Amino acid sequence: MENLPKCPQCGSEYTYEDGNMYICPECAHEWAKDDSDGASEAGLVVKDANGNILQDGDTVTVIKDLKVKGSSDGIKVGTKIKGIRLVEGNDGHNIDCKVTGVGAIKLKQEFVKKA
């Protein structure tokens, strides 16, 4: 069996060939074999705690009480955050957002779910 590329959209390793296309059964993404590296479409892939792919402008919900440096309150579970922005974070903080009462912060993707 040949070595098929991972899905550029969700990173799944269960891709398969159909004619001159690759197809991902998990997210239904299709791309041409000549674009098999997926670099032009892949970009930054950030998934929430449930495995859903997040995009810029999405609304997310916090799934765990989070402490915030410099704040006595923090962020409570169930807080909705609108208009997130995805960034490349070396420390795992891939979400830039503004939280009411706290201000602009960066969050890790494993502490939010897509609303």
Per-residue pLDDT tens for 11-39? Answer: 888 888 888 888 888 888 888 877 544 44
Token representation of residue 66: 């989070």
CB 51 within 8 A of CB 64: no
- At residue 65, the pLDDT reads 95
Contacting residues for 101 by C-beta, under 8 A, at least 6 apart: 73
Q: Kindly list the strands in the beta sheet with 85-86, ordered across the sheet, starting from the edge strand earlier in the chain.
A: 85-86, 95-99, 103-107
- Whether pTM > 0.75 for this model: the answer is no
- At residue 2, the pLDDT reads 66
Beta strands in the chain (DSSP E): 16-18, 21-23, 30-32, 46-47, 53-54, 60-62, 80-81, 85-86, 95-99, 103-107, 112-114
- Over residues 35-94, the pLDDT tens digits come to 544 443 446 788 999 989 899 899 999 999 999 888 788 899 999 999 999 988 778 899
How many H-runs (helices) and E-runs (strands) does the chain carry?
1, 11
- At residue 6, the pLDDT reads 85
Buried b (16+ CB within 10 A) or exposed e, 27-51: eebebeeeeeebeeeeeeebebbee
